[in-house]
Amino acid sequence: MWIKKSADVEVSKELEFENQNIDKTDAYEVTITEAYLKESSDEQSKSMSLVINAETKDGDNVKTYFTVTGRDGETYFKTTHKGKEVKKQHFGLSIANSVFLMLLKQEIFDIEPAKTSFKQWNKENKEMESCTGDGFPELIGKKVGVCVQMIKKINGKDSSQYPEIAHFFDLATGLFAEEEPSNRRKLDRWLSSAKEYKVVEEKEVKSSFGKKPEEKKQNKWSKS
């Protein structure tokens, strides 16, 4: 016998998926099921993300972490433009703010977080568990359009794929937040230019100082 069958192993039945993810780059109508804040696990970091989980009518999911504050606890980062230092809002915060404008007619800055429920993976018990934390329960149950970009993460010979919300849009008009009607909607432009996968490559950077592997993101697009 080349492998041994264990009697105490739970067998998953075919075509029974508990949490199936969206698997194609496209525009979707979804219902927001979770909207909670998550702090960094690094004690030296003050970064925080807004986690939004959404579901299609077919039960396919997409969960995305939108950066609200950086490691320094600020909602912006500093960069240099034409020789001058400028402050730029974190892109994730801008995208997250757009869904507040569309669904609640307010900015994320004007709404105080409140207690909300969500599910989180427990590494020790190896199962999903119900949790309570700060978030925005006002968003739960709201329908909205999302542009979903499939991500292909490559680390050496290993690779993984997952969906990510790139933009939100109004279901009635197809317009992005604060976009004026025109014959060149941003949604149409995104759909015409979006590729099947956005590739993210992780490379280990060797250092005599014993630095940990760093993640290198490339602006490279590829079809599988």
Residue-wise pLDDT tens digits, 120-173: 888 888 888 999 999 999 999 999 999 999 999 998 888 899 999 999 999 999
17: in domain:
no
Burial of 198: CB neighbours in 10 Å, binned 0-12, 13-18, 19+: buried
pTM: 0.80
Q: What is the pLDDT of residues 9-27, one digit of tens each?
A: 555 455 444 558 999 999 9
Range of the domain at 32: 26-222
97: in domain:
yes
Name, in order, each residue with C-beta under 8 angstroms of 79's C-beta and a sequence gap of 6 or more. Answer: 85, 86, 88
89: in domain:
yes
2: in domain:
no
User: What number of residues does the chain have?
Assistant: 224
6: in domain:
no
**Quick one: tokens of 89?**
């809002």
Could you give the number of structural domains in the chain? 1
